[in-house]
Amino acid sequence: MTPTMSHALVLWRYLTASPGYHQEGLLVLCGSYDLRVCDYACDLFKRYPFDKLLITGRTGNWTHHLWSETEARIFAQRAHQHDIPDRSMILDTEATNFAENIRNACLLVPSARKVTFITKLNSIRRVMATAPIQWPDANVLADGPPIRFPDEVSNVIGVFGLIAEMVGDIDRLIKYPDAGFQVAIEVPDDVCTSYQYLAENGFDSHMISLTA
C-alpha cells in the first residue's frame, strides 16, 4: 500500500465512526453527489417508524455541475423510486452546507427532539460537531451507508477526489471551532499527521481559509 493510501485510510477510519441512528423521530437526509446515501435513508425510513423524511440540499462543490436540479429534488425523485410518498417528505432546497442543513431542518421541524442525519460516511463527524451549535435542543445522531474505502468510492469524485474531500473535512474539524461554527472535538495525533501529509502532497483543494 502506498503512503498516500495508508494516510487516507487513517482519515477514513476516523471520519466514518458513527454513533448510530435513532429508530424514531425525524430522519434528515443530507443531499450530496452519492445517491447511495438516499438509498440508505429510504431503507431506514421504511424499516422504522420515523415521523418524516426531511431531505435537505441545494448544491455543493461537486453537484453544482452534476445536476440541473437541487440535491433535495434529485434525492426526492430517488425516494419516490423507493415508494416513499410525498406526504412523508419535507424538502429544503436552500441549504448549501452542514450548518444550513441542520439549521433549516430545525426551522422546518422545530418540535423534533430525536433527530437522525443520514449523510456521506466521511461527513458524520462534521455533522455531529455542527449539530450542538445549530440545534442544541435536539438529540442528534448521524449515520451513513456502509461503503468501503477505497473499493466502493463514488465514481463521481473517485478515490483522489474523496481523499481531498477528507482532508477538507479534517481541516474544518480543526479550524471551525475557533470560528464558532462547530464544537471542538479531539482529533488524534495520527489523524493530524495523516492530514498534514496528504495536504502537503497535493490533496489540499478542499481546505479552507478563515482569513480570506
pLDDT, one tens digit per residue, over 90-109 is: 999 999 999 999 999 999 99
Q: Which amino acid is at 60?
A: G
pTM (2 d.p.):
0.94
211 pLDDT higher than 60: no
- Average pLDDT on 30-54 reads 97
212 pLDDT higher than 50: no
**Cα 89 to chain centroid, rounded:** 19
The mean of the pLDDT values for the chain is 95
Residue carrying the nine cell digits 458524520? 124
pLDDT tier, 40 (very low <50, low <70, confident <90, very high otherwise) = very high
C-alpha torsion 107→97→168→4, nearest 10: 100
List the single range of 64-68, 100-104, 132-136 with lowest mean pLDDT.
64-68
Domains and CATH numbers, the chain: 3-13+149-200 (no CATH), 19-143 (3.40.50.620)
149 pLDDT higher than 90: yes
List the single range of 55-59, 168-172, 180-184 with lowest mean pLDDT.
55-59
Q: What are phi and psi of 70, to 5 degrees?
A: -70, 160
pLDDT at 64: 64
Q: What are phi and psi of 141, to 5 degrees?
A: -125, 160
With 0-12 / 13-18 / 19 or more C-beta atoms within 10 angstroms meaning exposed / middle / buried, residue 36 is: middle
Q: Which residues contact 180 (CB under 8 A, 6 or more apart)?
A: 133
List the single range of 52-61, 74-83, 86-95, 96-105 with lowest mean pLDDT.
52-61
- Average pLDDT on 146-175 reads 96
